[in-house]
């Protein structure tokens, strides 16, 4: 590990992984307790349209993808507002439509794009400094917004119906949460790719939920777990010459299985 730290690309990768871990801990927890895992998957996959758009227009990938996935997320937020009938089907359509758009735009782009796979499965070892800066900026923004609206997000996540009855602007919070998910997805695309994003968004929060006694605690614990998975996966990928994104997810999945075998603490009784 120490020798690896001598390389700039490895230090960048480690930094990217840690940034993504913090954001995944916060946003992944909100995704899990709000039961919008499927929605988050839709945003992640639809954001491939943004990657295609960036290549087609010859613009930097991450900023364009950020804009595109935010638009897709807000669209999905609108579709799912007030738990509309068949909204899950519409999400499924948007999910596929975004990916198809991305692939078609890439087909139309002249030249061979070797970089394609890296957006599907991550390329954390090739994160340039400019992306790192954007990721840091996005993290700061996400943390700021989540912190500013933490009370509202907690009230909505716990019981949206009750929150509505108390005049809490739940619709605004729903849009806000989806925009945060979009920002989070863009950040994690670099780390594990948009197909594997779901694992980092769901596994650490799931493990943390049973052991935390507050939403904040759940976020903190899942961020720590994410960081452990990222660092361990990164090291394995370096040492064994494996794909970085898949290594990180493999470690996370292993942790997931182990956590199921170990009973949850805190004097928990009764059925789960």
Neighbours of 133 (CB within 10 A): 11
Return the residue of 63, 210, 242, 254 that touches another protein, per CB under 8 A. 210
263 binds another protein (CB under 8 A): no
How far, in Å, CA of 138 to CA of 191, rounded? 14
Tokens of 166: 């108390």
Query: Of 215, 230, 104, nearest to 156 (Cα)?
Result: 215
Residue number with CB closer to another protein (113 or 210): 210
- Identify which range of 38-46, 87-95, 97-105, 147-155 contacts another protein by CB under 8 A: 147-155
3-state secondary structure at position 101: helix
Give me the least distance between CB of 182 and another protein, in Å please. Answer: 20
140 binds another protein (CB under 8 A): no
155 binds another protein (CB under 8 A): yes
Are residues 106 and 116 in contact, defined by beta-carbon separation less than 8 angstroms?
A: yes
Residue number with CB closer to another protein (175 or 235): 175
Handedness of CA 261, 28, 52, 244 (dihedral sign): negative
Handedness of CA 49, 51, 56, 57 (dihedral sign): positive
Return the residue of 159, 239, 253, 258 that touches another protein, per CB under 8 A. 159
Residue number with CB closer to another protein (110 or 271): 271
Query: Residues interacting with another protein, by CB under 8 A?
Result: 33, 35, 147-155, 157-169, 172-173, 208-210, 212-215, 217-218, 266-270, 272
């Amino acid at each position: 590990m120490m020798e690896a730290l001598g390389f700039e690309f490895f230090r960048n990768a480690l930094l990217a992984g840690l940034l993504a871990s913090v954001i995944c801990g916060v946003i992944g927890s909100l995704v899990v307790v709000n039961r919008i895992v499927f929605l988050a998957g839709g945003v992640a996959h639809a954001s491939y349209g943004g990657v295609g758009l960036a290549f087609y227009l010859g613009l930097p990938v991450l900023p364009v993808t950020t804009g595109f996935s935010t638009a897709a997320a807000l669209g999905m937020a609108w579709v799912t507002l007030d738990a509309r009938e068949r909204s899950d089907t519409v999400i499924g359509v948007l999910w596929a439509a975004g990916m198809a758009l991305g692939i078609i735009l890439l087909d139309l782009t002249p030249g061979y794009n070797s970089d394609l796979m890296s957006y599907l499965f991550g390329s954390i070892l090739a994160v340039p400094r400019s992306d790192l800066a954007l990721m840091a900026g996005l993290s700061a923004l996400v943390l700021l917004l989540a912190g500013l609206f933490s009370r509202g997000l907690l009230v909505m996540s716990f019981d949206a119906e009750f929150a509505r009855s108390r005049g809490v602007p739940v619709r605004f919070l729903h849009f806000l949460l989806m925009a945060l998910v979009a920002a989070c997805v863009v950040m994690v695309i670099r780390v594990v790719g948009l197909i594997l994003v779901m694992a980092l968004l769901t596994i650490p929060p799931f493990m943390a939920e049973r052991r935390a006694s507050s939403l904040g605690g759940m976020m903190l614990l899942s961020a720590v777990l994410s960081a452990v998975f990222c660092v361990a996966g990164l090291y394995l990928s370096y040492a064994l010459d494996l794909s970085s994104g898949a290594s990180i997810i493999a470690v996370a999945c292993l942790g997931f299985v182990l956590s199921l075998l170990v009973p949850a603490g805190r004097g928990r009784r009764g059925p789960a």
